[in-house]
Each structure stands twice: as C-alpha cells, then as structure tokens.
C-alpha cells in the first residue's frame, strides 16, 4: 500500500469515527 493510499484510509476512518461519535452524542443529549 502506498503512502497516499494509507493516508487516505486513515483520514476516511477518522472522519467516519467523528461522524459516529457526533451522532451518538446528539442521541444521548436528547
């Protein structure tokens, strides 16, 4: 795997994690 592909993978994973955490946070604060 190339560096560009590796960075792209980690950025995608990080964004997905942030989205899931923000959704959970909104659900718990309702």
What are 6-30's pLDDT values in tens digits?
999 999 999 999 999 999 999 998 7
SS3 content of the chain, % helix, strand, coil (to 5): 90, 0, 10
pTM value > 0.75: no
First and final C-alpha spacing in the chain: 42
Spatial distance between the Cα atoms of 30 and 27, rounded to a whole number of angstroms: 6
Spatial distance between the Cα atoms of 30 and 28, rounded to a whole number of angstroms: 6
What pLDDT, on a 0 to 100 scale, did the predictor assign at position 4? 82
């Amino acid at each position: 795997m190339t560096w560009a592909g590796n960075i792209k993978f980690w950025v995608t994973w990080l964004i997905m994690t942030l989205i899931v955490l923000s959704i959970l946070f909104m659900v718990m604060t309702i």
